[in-house]
Amino acid sequence: MTGLSPTEIGIVEHLRRRQADMAAQVVDWAQVNSGSRNLAGLEQMRQHIAARLTEIADTVATVAPEPAETLDEAGRTVALAHGANLLARKRVACARRMILTGHMDTVFPPDHPFQICRLIEDDRLNGPGTADMKGGLLVMIEALAALEAANAIPDFGWDVVVNADEEVSSLGSAALLRETARRCQTGMTFEPSVTVDGTLASARRGSGNFTAALTGRSAHAGRNPLDGRNAVVTAADLAVRLDALKHEIEGLSVNVARLSGGGANNVVPDRALLSWNMRPVDLAGQQVAEQAIARIIAQVSADHGVTIALAGRFARPPKPFDAKHQALFGLVRETGADLGLAIDWQPSGGVCDGNNIAAQNVAVVDTMGVRGGAIHTDEEFMILSSLSERAALAAITMLRIAQGRLDHALGSAPDMAGVAHD
Ligand SMILES: [Zn+2]
């Protein structure tokens, strides 16, 4: 540890002493099932996390999810249920502040076989949500607790958002993330590193999930087929035309994921449902894609005489690796070097709440959580020693931001706080 101040050394040593407790707690938390649709399990996790945040924050509030909707097979609007979110705030009066976020939900529902943790090597824990991202939640909480125990950032505020629906696009927490980010100049999100050696994600594509519900007209396939309006054929045409956008819009990826509808062979089908994902590289690409979707739906609808209702949007805007982000990542790298850690980064095709935070003109490093891998599979693992390692990296980086190390790159705090980000 070269280049660390006495205060910084004290914080790092404090976090090393916390390693065993953190390792025990990550097992307890990972074994609480909190799949995105398991509201009871999410509530249990919310209480565990709130208890830890209450020890260090000035206020901890439970924030109900925003209403969110999708379309069912019949084209009807149906409500999506999400868990409640947490907002913890410290030194609310400080204009200079940071947003820190993590999600309590996982991709594993209660009936999934992967529910228990096991140590597969000395330092390698296999378990659901260990890396993504209950380990990251602990990294965040312990980093803040270490800073507060040392009274290291008396003139710097922080806001923590822990949401319950990140794995299903944060539809119920997007407004909370947006409003909280607007008060802050910098951010950290505690997703796991991109690779097991600790590499961070730099630029991220945007992402939108869409569902189209098609309503045609049924008819007898033999007696009066021309009276029918075939919703399945229309959905197939729509799928092909949407897929072709990947050749028209630079860098856009399109994944037509699901087409359902129809029934008996002697009936012209009047209902179909089509779902797809699109990932643009930048905001311009997103806007062109939005216009193209609307244009194609209008054309396909007119060509086939079939009504098409659309749900979904680009809920994750693209996250560019701009000058502000480069300054923030540079500070993380420099801090890592002082801690004996080599920090690198690479672009990612994946998306997370970092996309939404960056969209509020906030520089955010969104892979500050544990080192691990194989996330979203039953081989998910985390490196246990990375709990205290990444907590030290987050805490010292945050301390240096609080001390003004990025003020030049980000602009002065009062100006930043007053800027309208729309
Ligand atoms: Zn995650």
How far away, in angstroms, is 381 Cα from ligand 1 center?
13
Question: What residues pair up with 373 in beta bridges, in sequence order?
Answer: 381
Residues 6+ away with beta carbon under 8 Å from 301? 234, 307, 308
How far away, in angstroms, is 188 Cα from ligand 1 center?
13
How far away, in angstroms, is 250 Cα from ligand 1 center?
27
- Tens digit of each residue's pLDDT (9 = 90 or more) over 25-58: 999 999 999 999 999 999 999 999 999 999 999 9
- Residues 206-233: b if buried by 16+ CB within 10 A, e if exposed: bbbbbbbbbbbebbeeeeeeeebbbbbb
How far away, in angstroms, is 366 Cα from ligand 1 center?
10
Would you say residue 248 lies in a domain?
Answer: yes
What pLDDT was estimated at residue 2? 74
Q: Please classify residue 28 by burial: count the beta carbons closer than 10 Å to its beta carbon, then call 0-12 exposed, 13-18 middle and 19+ buried.
A: exposed
How far away, in angstroms, is 338 Cα from ligand 1 center?
27
How far away, in angstroms, is 191 Cα from ligand 1 center?
5
* 139 and 258 inside one domain: no
* Number of domains making up the chain: 2
How far away, in angstroms, is 179 Cα from ligand 1 center?
21
Would you say residue 1 lies in a domain?
Answer: no
How far away, in angstroms, is 290 Cα from ligand 1 center?
26
How far away, in angstroms, is 311 Cα from ligand 1 center?
24
Mean pLDDT of the chain: 95
For 325, other C-beta atoms within 10 Å of its C-beta total 21
How far away, in angstroms, is 132 Cα from ligand 1 center?
4
- Tens digit of each residue's pLDDT (9 = 90 or more) over 382-401: 999 999 999 999 999 999 99
How far away, in angstroms, is 166 Cα from ligand 1 center?
7
* 323 and 303 inside one domain: no
Of the pLDDT bands very low, low, confident and very high (cuts 50, 70, 90), residue 72 is confident
How far away, in angstroms, is 233 Cα from ligand 1 center?
37
Average pLDDT over residues 255-275: 96
Residue 15: which H helix or E strand, with range? helix 6-17
How far away, in angstroms, is 104 Cα from ligand 1 center?
9
Tokens of 184: 């802050």
Going by C-alpha positions, the residue among 51, 48, 1 that lies closest to residue 26 is 48
How far away, in angstroms, is 399 Cα from ligand 1 center?
25
How far away, in angstroms, is 369 Cα from ligand 1 center?
9
* 135 and 106 inside one domain: yes
Residue 185, φ and ψ in degrees, nearest 5: -105, -30
Structural domain boundaries enclosing 65: 6-71+80-205+318-418
- What is the end-to-end Cα distance of the chain in Å, rounded? 42
How far away, in angstroms, is 101 Cα from ligand 1 center?
11
Residues 6+ away with beta carbon under 8 Å from 247? none
- Tens digit of each residue's pLDDT (9 = 90 or more) over 312-357: 999 999 999 999 999 999 999 999 999 999 999 999 989 999 999 9
How far away, in angstroms, is 237 Cα from ligand 1 center?
34
How far away, in angstroms, is 341 Cα from ligand 1 center?
23
Of the pLDDT bands very low, low, confident and very high (cuts 50, 70, 90), residue 415 is very low
Angle between helices 19-30 and 386-402 (to 10 degrees): 110
- Rounded to 5°, the CA angle 81-87-88 comes to 155
What pLDDT was estimated at residue 418? 39
* 329 and 275 inside one domain: no
* 388 and 267 inside one domain: no
Q: Does residue 188 have a cis bond before it (omega within 30 degrees)?
A: no
How far away, in angstroms, is 12 Cα from ligand 1 center?
25
* 21 and 99 inside one domain: yes
At residue 387, the 3 state secondary structure works out as helix
Domain's final residue, options 286, 316, 346: 316
Would you say residue 246 lies in a domain?
Answer: yes
Of the pLDDT bands very low, low, confident and very high (cuts 50, 70, 90), residue 247 is very high
Going by C-alpha positions, the residue among 91, 73, 78, 223 that lies closest to residue 155 is 91
Tokens of 240: 């092909």
At residue 7, the 3 state secondary structure works out as helix
E strands, 83-233, are 85-90, 97-103, 118-121, 124-126, 157-163, 186-189, 200-204, 207-215
CATH number at residue 214: 3.30.70.360
Cα 353 versus chain centre, distance: 3
How far away, in angstroms, is 102 Cα from ligand 1 center?
8
How far away, in angstroms, is 339 Cα from ligand 1 center?
25
Residue 345, φ and ψ in degrees, nearest 5: -150, 160
- Distance between CA atoms of residues 149 and 169, nearest Å: 35
Cβ pair 280, 251 in contact under 8 A: yes
* 12 and 123 inside one domain: yes
User: What is the per-residue DSSP string for 288-336?
Assistant: HHHHHHHHHHHHHHHHHT-EEEEEEEEEE--B---HHHHHHHHHHHHHH
How far away, in angstroms, is 269 Cα from ligand 1 center?
39
Q: Please classify residue 141 by burial: count the beta carbons closer than 10 Å to its beta carbon, then call 0-12 exposed, 13-18 middle and 19+ buried.
A: buried
How far away, in angstroms, is 415 Cα from ligand 1 center?
32
Task: Give one word for 411, left, alpha or beta, with left for phi > 0 and alpha for psi -120 to 50.
Answer: left
Would you say residue 33 lies in a domain?
Answer: yes
- The proportion of the chain whose per-residue pLDDT surpasses 70, expressed as a percent, equals 97
Domain's final residue, options 290, 316, 342: 316
* 186 and 214 inside one domain: no
- Tens digit of each residue's pLDDT (9 = 90 or more) over 153-191: 999 999 999 999 999 999 999 999 999 999 999 999 999
Residue 10 has pLDDT above 60, yes or no: yes
